Amino acid sequence: MAGLGTFELADREILADLWLRCREAGHQLGGRPWSWRLWRWAARLPAALLLAGLAGGAAWAVTRYGSFAWNFIQDEYRPLLFAARQVGNVTLLAAVALLVVAASAYLVLRIARG
């Protein structure tokens, strides 16, 4: 009696053969119509418009509020630097450990999905 692995392998071979035959028949019949290529590009149009809108909005925000943000950073630079220097070893160790745990969790999840 054949095992499950044999049936899975035969299934893949049958489906691959069927896909190749259908693809060859499609090419013999003239390939995909030009409207298929047009539809592929038209499907990308909303994404391109959204990206352009986001870039334009970011450029507007930087020109409108950029000087305010830069002045705020310049004003708060020294107190933030002083506070960062006052951090103790235990706090720094906890922050690094948290970053290592987060990076490890990300890698484990990525490997599990792949």
Q: Tell me: the pLDDT tens digits for 5-35?
A: 666 777 888 888 888 898 888 878 887 767 7
pLDDT tens by residue, 59-68: 888 888 877 7
- pLDDT computed for residue 104 by the predictor: 95
Q: Is 3 inside a domain boundary?
A: no
Q: Is 22 inside a domain boundary?
A: no
Average pLDDT over residues 31-44: 75
Q: Is 23 inside a domain boundary?
A: no
Q: Is 101 inside a domain boundary?
A: yes
Q: What are the tokens at 49?
A: 């418009």
- pLDDT computed for residue 7 by the predictor: 65
pLDDT over 70 (residue 4): no
Q: Are 43 and 49 in contact, with CB atoms under 8 Å apart?
A: no
Domain that residue 76 falls in: 32-113
Range with top average pLDDT, 58-62, 63-67, 70-74, 77-81: 58-62
Number of domains forming the structure of the chain: 1
pLDDT higher at 2 or 9: 9
At 78, the amino acid letter reads R
CA distance 74 to 87: 21
Tell how far CA 92 is from the center of its chain: 30
- How many C-alpha atoms does 67 have within 13 Å on its Cβ side? 2
pLDDT over 80 (residue 102): yes
Q: Which conformational region is residue 18 in: left (phi greater than 0), alpha (psi within -120 to 50 degrees), or beta?
A: alpha
Q: Is 24 inside a domain boundary?
A: no
Q: Is 48 inside a domain boundary?
A: yes
- pLDDT computed for residue 52 by the predictor: 93
